[in-house]
Amino acid sequence: MTSLDMLFKPKSIAVIGASDTAGRSGNVIIRNLQASGFHGPIMPVTPKYQAVAGILAYPTIEALPLVPDLAVLCTHASRNSELIRQLGEKGVKLAIILSAGMKKIDAPDGRSEFEVMREIASRYEMRVIGPNSLGLILPWLNLNASFSPIAANRGNIAFVSQSAAVCTTILDWAQNRRIGFSTFISLGEASDIDFPELLDYLARESKTDAILLYIDNIQDARAFISAARAASRNRRVLVLKSGRTPEGASVLPHLNEEVQGLDSAYDAAIRRSGMLRVRTTHELFAAVETLSHSVPLRGERLAIISNGGGPAVMAVDMLLEMGGKLAVLSEETIEKLNRVLPVSWSHGNPVDIVGDADIDRYKKATEILLESDEADALLILHSPSVTAPGLKTAKAMTDMLKNNPRAKRFNILTNWQGESDDATVARLAFAHAGFPAYRTPESAVTAYMHLVEYRRNQKQLMETPTSIGQIDYDVEGGKALIQQALDQDILALTTHEARPFLSKYGINVMATWLAADAAEAAQITEQVGYPVAVKLRSPDIAHKSDVNGVMLDLNNAVEVANAAQLMLNRVSVTYPTARIEGLQIQAMANRAGSQELRVCVRHDPVFGPVILIGEGGSEWDVNRDAAVAIPPLNMALARYMVISAIKSGKLRQRGHPYNFDINALCHFLVTLSQIVIDFPEITDLDIHPLLVSGDSFTVLDASIKLSPFEGDANTRLAIRPYPKELEEKATLKDGRSVLLRPILPEDEPTHKSFIEHVSDEDLYKRFFSDVGEMNHEALANLTQIDYDREMAFVAVCLNEQGEQEILGVVRALANPEHTDAEFAVLVRSDLKGMGLGRILMDKVINYGKLSGLKRINGMTMPSNTGMIGLARKVGFSIDVQLQDGIVEMDLFL
């Protein structure tokens, strides 16, 4: 068993610091274990009592009669390091620490008890949850090893939280709503086991359909995003992230300004990973209830039924404000409704069935909408009514919906308004019948929009990007310029210094001249031509506009000299200590019909380099005014960033004659992303303003901050970029040259064509089943891979039309620990005998060695003699299992 297997399937538990005193954590844990009906041995450890809650106690850890799978420490923070050492000597491999404050207690060697505990646990290869954990609840195992006063019912939702207080709140609410859990884990300060490992495990756990995360902060952004992207392809993952403001985050005792990270960067990471973020505990409750009862949305069209106009209007307002779609009813559906509704009904969506509606009218209107294909989801609103009593109507509607086979195709949400017992019990009746129920129209629509946003994030996760096309970046020229600046100890580049570098990537920067004083500025402008702009140069003044440090539309030498001198005089008074490096001169750009944007690269303490875009201004607040994306970007991801910025008002199409071209802006962002990947020395890049007119982009001002960098440039990125360094050329037996390279998301159409050139028999041998025609989702799973945990190499060459085609592919899918990988090879059926299989096998073996894998294994059929022979040639051991109809191939690296 692995350490996480022991966590989720413990067969014996020791409670260190068990107590017979009611209310003490050591007593609550023992009694919760008893009450939950845990079947394995429960072993209290305490020198104080002979027995705890009627269970024989042991005075020391050493005295335990067997090595427990799990130890729960209910002891004071100052004792935990020594107890972890004793548990390690006993051979215990998993511990949960309840007590808080270990970071604030000094050990004798000057380190904190927290650091000492981690070092001891690592020495004994012991895994730890906590400190400051509430514990663990596994309802399907009858295990409650927690300090919670509330138990958890069995269900299919896994909940993982960094906050113990949030855990008890969720449990209390869920019990009232009869919502159950497969797993309930309180991470506390996550000294060891953290979100990434748990996501990897829970995404494969059969009892879990959805995963809920309460996050204060992420410690390893790359591991988190990698695990989250993998998990969200198999499970619905919701995130409640606290500390949305810097002030809020600073309240958390284990966070400080250096590790908070931009909240908008968390947003970007969550969307990029295909998860859903909720903003409040109330939204989390609503989202849990919605997702626990929902089916995947077919589309985003919502139909609304209501017995009152006011609530329906409130629902529509909320829906449209949140970017939702109202279903449009056909004439045929309206005619059907005309037959069962009074003349005064709304004759459209929302379907207002009028205040005197009875139960029968509710049922008939609902059935008509279920019969149509004009909506994907249905929201049923009910205001207190004499003709349709709340509870009675709710029971009639649940019976009808359960018996209507078409209801299973819709997401059905309900809103029974009122605070009377009748309305409260009616909402519970819907919840118990499997239909989410909400107190207000707005909360019902918000819950529905969670489904919509989740669907959109999933589409983003799986969308095939269009190719940016072949771009001739001069990377080596750019590297020479950056190295030259570093060699001269120049760590801040202004516009004139940044211009030659940015031009290596095809970015147009306005020509800039430098002047030492007002007289030289006037002399230069005579040669540049008028009108001109004069700008102050100072590394100490972030926003030139703060000191009127930019003067525009100067039309002669006198105006230039006067403006420049006034600027210099003004700054000497307002910023007497600021370093002044002279003046910048630029010809005036044609601003007519243009728009000014601001695009930046910043280093986020959690996610590393991030790209920001918005509209400029000296009061630019990145939390409020900028959309954020995490590189690397392709055209699809850049488009999501731009569209999101437009929808949130951070970018505005202003009705100019030449609005910015979205595709061109996406191309610009992808180029900037490539700069981030290629130059780890760039810590900050600020383009402000970027003058945009249609598909024309001109940088008027740019600054770049540099810092020497050594080591692997990719380690600073939260998402591993395309590993270009793994590309290599090879030659087939017929003399054809092929390129071996990692697969790209853009390869989906080419990969589809490749599959069509593989025979059904070869596909059956590869996938162990009839494949048929692969849909977009299947192809996306094959082409959109996480290079950190999976690798696929394609052999490509140019066909007669000059287009790339895939001839073969080899894959290696590693386990979460990155020790073992399962491989698979597929070659076009018309290319057998060309040596491509051997080339691909050698490629994946070399990759395994380079990436630190210990073993590569694969499986095929006994009839696949070609694959078996090839595996033998390259050193695999072969185990033929004729009874099971499989052949296992193993290679230890």
For the domain 1-133, what is the CATH code?
3.40.50.720
More confident residue, 472 or 210: 210
Query: Tens digits of per-residue pLDDT, 217-251?
Result: 999 999 999 999 999 988 989 999 987 666 555 55
CA separation for the pair 231, 211 (Å, rounded): 9
Are 411 and 297 a contacting pair, CB within 8 Å?
A: yes
Burial letters for 262-293: b for 16+ Cβ neighbours within 10 Å, e otherwise? bbbbbbbbbbbbbbbbbeeeebbbbbbbbbbb
Whether residue 350 is preceded by a cis peptide bond, meaning omega within 30 degrees of 0, is: yes
What does the pLDDT look like over 741-792, one tens digit per residue? Answer: 999 989 999 999 999 998 888 888 787 777 677 888 888 889 999 898 899 9
Q: Could you give the percent of the chain with pLDDT greater than 70?
A: 95
Residues 18-22: what's their mean pLDDT? Answer: 94
Q: Global pTM?
A: 0.87
Cβ 450 vs Cβ 275: under 8 Å: no
Which CATH superfamily hosts domain 148-281? Succinyl-CoA synthetase domains (3.40.50.261)
Fold type of domain 724-892: Aminopeptidase (3.40.630)
Backbone angles phi, psi at 448, to 5 degrees: -60, -40
Q: What is the DSSP code (8-state) at residue 250?
A: H
Q: CATH number for the 294-462 domain, one of 3.30.9.10, 3.40.50.261, 3.10.20.600, 2.40.50.100?
A: 3.40.50.261
Whether the CB-CB separation of 181 and 155 falls below 8 Å is answered with: yes
Strand order through the sheet with 276-278: 143-146, 135-138, 181-186, 154-161, 210-215, 236-241, 276-278
Looking at the structure, give the CATH architecture of the domain made up of residues 475-587.
Answer: 2-Layer Sandwich (3.30)
Mean pLDDT of the chain: 90
pLDDT at 115 over 90: yes
Query: What was the pLDDT predicted at 257?
Result: 45
Check residue 550 and give its pLDDT.
86
294-462 matches 595-716 in fold? no
For residues 542-561, average pLDDT = 83
Q: Which of 440, 455, 460, 457 is nearest to 300 (CA)?
A: 455
pLDDT at 854: 95
Note the pLDDT of residue 800.
81
Q: Please report the DSSP string for 55-97 in residue order.
A: EE-BSSSTT-SS--SEEEE-S-GGGHHHHHHHHHHHT--EEEE
Give pLDDT tens digits for 329-388. Answer: 999 999 999 999 999 999 999 999 999 999 999 999 999 999 998 999 999 999 999 999
Residues facing 304 on adjacent strands: 379
Residue-wise pLDDT for 247-267, tens only, equals 555 555 554 444 678 999 999
Say which CATH class 595-716 falls into. Answer: alpha beta
pLDDT at 260: 73
- Cα-Cα-Cα-Cα dihedral of 874, 877, 880, 885, to 10°? -70
Q: Give me the residue spans of the domains in the chain.
A: 1-133, 148-281, 294-462, 475-587, 595-716, 724-892
pLDDT of residue 807: 96
The predicted pLDDT at position 431 comes to 86
Cβ atoms of 315 and 381 within 8 Å: the answer is yes
Measure CA 651 to chain center: 23
Say yes or no to pLDDT of 541 above 90.
no
Least-confidence region, from 297-306, 311-320, 541-550: 541-550
User: Coil, strand or helix: which one is 43?
Assistant: strand
| DSSP helix/strand/coil, 136 | strand
Question: How far apart are the C-alpha atoms of 119 and 112, rounded to whole Å?
Answer: 11
Dihedral of CA atoms 785, 873, 729, 462 in degrees, nearest 10, equals -10
pLDDT tens for 638-667 read 999 999 898 888 988 766 555 788 999 999
Q: Does pLDDT of 3 surpass 70?
A: no
Confidence of residue 307 (pLDDT cuts 50, 70, 90): very high
CA–CA separation, 66 vs 95, rounded Å? 15
| Structural tokens at position 412 | 């059905």
From 825, 877, 827, 840, select the one nearest 855 (Cα to Cα): 877
Q: How do residues 506-527 score in pLDDT, each as one tens digit? A: 999 998 898 999 899 889 888 8
Rounded to 10 deg, the angle between the 221-232 and 195-202 helix axes is 20
* pLDDT tops 60 at residue 881: yes
Sign of CA pseudo-dihedral 158, 163, 168, 172: negative
